[in-house]
Amino acid sequence: MNADLFPRPRTEIAPGAVHVPDWLDADRQRELVEACREWSRPPAGLRTVRTPGGGTMTARQVCLGWHWYPYAYVRTVVDGDGTPVKPFPEWLGELGRRAVRDALGAEAAPYDIALINFYDGDARMGMHRDSDEKSDAPVVSLSLGDTCVFRFGNTETRTRPYTDVELRSGDLFVFGGPSRLAYHGVPRVQAGTAPPELGLTGRLNITLRVSGL
Ligand SMILES: O=C(O)CCC(=O)C(=O)O
């Protein structure tokens, strides 16, 4: 049986956390992948993030607007080539505000940060909270390429209760309100599941945030 025969409904995973399948059409996905390729080029391009404990994140990252490194936002790539972070484009902010309208029926403050994570090989992301922003505006997450398991948990612990959601290329996930500081992560990416016409090997995730800075 082919899962695509069944429509995937919009689902509220937790209060304020909504999954909207197939939110981006194929053309928009291609445009975003192309934009990510540009943003990934040096200077201030895709880099490996080192954690204070001496580890490295397996997903590589590039930032727009504000540069995130564990655990602060700054304007230059202090943990990389030292150059200024790339600007955050207005059109991406508009996309974010439209996402919040569609997912939550609400207006969000202007977005000014994008963190773009690239997952290839065995890359994944551990359970964490997005808590370095000084704003409670919803986080907008756009998925491109390979399907992943996105684990969406609770605000108290990294462990259960959580819900595993399959995020496919073009899906939108928004979390705000009581879920804004929920733990979440990506335990698994299913290699080779990206739509072939996208021309992407691996998975890209774009999260949009409001810095409040
Ligand atoms: O890749 C994803 O879907 C999640 C990314 C994420 O959790 C983050 O950027 O904080």
167-202 pLDDT, tens digit per residue, is: 999 999 999 999 999 999 999 999 999 999 999 999
Alpha-carbon span 197 to 33, nearest angstrom: 11
The verdict on the CB of residue 23 being under 6 Å from ligand 1 is no
Question: Which pLDDT belongs to residue 166?
Answer: 98
The verdict on the CB of residue 125 being under 6 Å from ligand 1 is yes
Ligand 1 centre to CA of 150 (Å) is 8
Ligand 1 centre to CA of 44 (Å) is 20
Q: Which residue's structure tokens are 């496919």?
A: 168
pTM: 0.97
The verdict on the CB of residue 115 being under 6 Å from ligand 1 is yes
Band the pLDDT of 1: cuts 50, 70, 90.
Answer: very low
Q: Is 97 within 8 Å of 108 (Cβ atoms)?
A: yes
67: pLDDT strictly greater than 70? yes
Q: Is 107 within 8 Å of 97 (Cβ atoms)?
A: yes
3-state secondary structure of 200: coil
Q: Which residues pair with 119 in a beta bridge?
A: 203
Q: Which residues pair with 166 in a beta bridge?
A: 149
The verdict on the CB of residue 204 being under 6 Å from ligand 1 is no
Ligand 1 centre to CA of 16 (Å) is 17
Q: Which residue's structure tokens are 């909207």?
A: 20
The verdict on the CB of residue 29 being under 6 Å from ligand 1 is no
Ligand 1 centre to CA of 1 (Å) is 30
Residues near 150 by Cβ (< 8 Å), separated by ≥ 6? 141, 164, 165, 166, 167, 173, 184, 185, 186
Residue 85: alpha-carbon gap to chain centroid: 18
By alpha-carbon position, which residue is closest to atom 2 of ligand 1? Answer: 205
Band the pLDDT of 203: cuts 50, 70, 90.
Answer: very high
3: pLDDT strictly greater than 60? no
Closest among 45, 193, 198, 71 to 120, alpha carbons compared: 193
Band the pLDDT of 82: cuts 50, 70, 90.
Answer: very high
Residues 133-157: tens digit of each pLDDT? 999 999 999 999 999 999 999 999 9
Ligand 1 centre to CA of 126 (Å) is 9
The verdict on the CB of residue 117 being under 6 Å from ligand 1 is yes
Work out the widest C-alpha separation in the chain, in whole angstroms.
Answer: 51
